[in-house]
Amino acid sequence: MFTIAKTEASRGLWPVLKDSLREPEAGMVMVDVIAAGICGTDYHIYSWDAWSAGRVRTPMTIGHEFVGRISAIGAGVTGFSIGDRVSAECHIACGTCRFCRTGNAHICEKTSIIGVDRPGAFAEQVEVPASNLWHVPEGIPDAHAALFDPVGNAMHMVASAKVTAKDVLIVGGGPIGLFAAAIAKAHGARTVALQEPNQARAAIARSLDLDLVVSPRDPDSTDKILELTRGQGPEVVLEVSGNAAAINAALDLAAPGAVFALLGIPSGPVALDLGAKVVMKGVSLLGITGRRMYETWYQVEAFMLKNPALMGKVITHILPATDFARGFELMDEGACGKIVLDFASLKGRLPQ
């Protein structure tokens, strides 16, 4: 079977033909992948930055955002049948620690991640625990259904920050920022502004019909955001850039009492003026990781069923899986929204 793997501890990803998988273990299922999204995490692994070099053991098949059909079922699995169309939560939590047992499996310290710590979904087949599967309803197209994971990140952030009737600023217009903007609108934000320097991404944001799309390089950007937010600044900031300067600028701009949710991962420690900008302003900082299991999944399913047009605007490319290198080049250039790789069309065309 065709897979996309990190075979060397250096920049790049390589196509690898592997033997088809054996029968799944007890509690596991085999999924024939239909489509898989390229995530920022995959881009980190492709780039081989400090985080991925410290975490990923080569060789490793990567990819964790996917939809597929069940092709084999291990012993003891109930509730699923061969042929079912499923996605899966890529964080495999331990299920027994204090966090898992208190409804917080997304912060389980023993999490193993599909496509990071164990073989991933950039492959014709992936083996996953049945406990992590999600039945995808008929009304959601394959390219959308592959994206429960990143839309879930955005959903978890927006839902945690409670945006209804609030002025919301999204810092960063990559796919998660774009999904977060669409979700914030759908959740009844008073205004949604998005800040993004890349023109291609700003253009996608404009297509989402937001209240303001602005470049941080625009000298009037702060004035425009203040004007939109009654001179007070945003009451909710959703930070997805991971950029230290952008984080500081947004913290300056945030209204007193704001909720400041952070999902973007900075490349190193970030200095913040906590006294003046957080304590004295009464700002709440929220770290956002993963998705709530499985509350976020129900929310994402409802959003995808109701908003296919918004989903379609953020997905800018669907590439044959064999053209994955082109996908990563597009990400290098920042010339894309979300990229989805098509694995279904490989069926029967490649040696198994």
Cis peptide leading into 141, omega within 30 of 0?
A: no
DSSP string, 33-91: EEEEEPPHHHHHHHHT-HHHHHHPPSSEE---EEEEEEEEE-TT--S--TT-EEEE-SE
Q: Is 5 in the site for Zn ion (CB under 5 A)?
A: no
Question: Does 250 participate in binding Zn ion (rule CB under 5 A)?
Answer: no
CA dist 95 → 60, 65, 105, 245, 298 (Å) = 25, 21, 7, 38, 20
**Is 44 in the active site?**
yes
Q: Which stretch binds Zn ion (CB under 5 A): 33-41, 167-175, 322-330, 332-340?
A: 33-41
Quick check: 93 binds Zn ion (CB under 5 A)?
A: yes
Q: Are 44 and 53 in contact (CB under 8 A)?
A: no
Cβ 244 to Zn ion shortest distance, Å? 23
If one asks whether residue 182 binds Zn ion (CB under 5 A), the answer comes out as no
Residue 41 falls in the annotated catalytic set:
yes
Instruction: Single out the residue of 39, 170, 204, 315 in contact with Zn ion (rule: CB under 5 A).
Output: 39
Q: How far is the CB of 39 from Zn ion (least distance, A)?
A: 3
Nearer to Zn ion, 105 or 208 (CB): 105
Q: How far is the CB of 37 from Zn ion (least distance, A)?
A: 7
**Residue of 41, 104, 237, 91 lying closest to 158 (CA atoms):** 237
CB 78 within 8 A of CB 122: no
User: Which of 21, 97, 285, 344 contacts Zn ion by CB under 5 A?
Assistant: 97
Cα distances from 98 to residues 95, 107, 189, 240, 291, in angstroms, run: 9, 10, 34, 28, 17
Closest CB 96 distance from Zn ion, rounded Å = 6
Residues in the chain: 352
Looking up tokens 């702060």 gives 222
Residue closer to Zn ion (CB basis): 40 or 266: 40
Of 3, 7, 44, 106, the active-site residue reads 44
Q: How many Å apart are CA 172 and CA 161, to the nearest integer? A: 16
Q: Does 21 bind Zn ion (CB under 5 A)?
A: no
- Strand segments, DSSP code E, in 130-218 are 133-135, 167-171, 191-195, 212-214
336 binds Zn ion (CB under 5 A): no
Smaller CB separation from Zn ion, 31 or 108:
108
Longest distance between any two alpha carbons in the chain, whole Å: 63
Give the contact letters, 41-80, x = binds to Zn ion (CB under 5 A), - = no: ------------------------x---------------
Question: By CB under 5 A, is residue 92 in contact with Zn ion?
Answer: no
Could you say which of 88, 100, 176, 182 contacts Zn ion (CB under 5 A)?
100
In whole angstroms, the minimum distance from the beta carbon of 232 to Zn ion comes to 34
The least distance separating Zn ion from the CB of residue 154, rounded to whole angstroms, comes to: 11
Residues annotated catalytic, as ranges: 41, 44
Binding site for Zn ion (CB under 5 A): 39, 65, 93-94, 97, 100, 108, 149-150
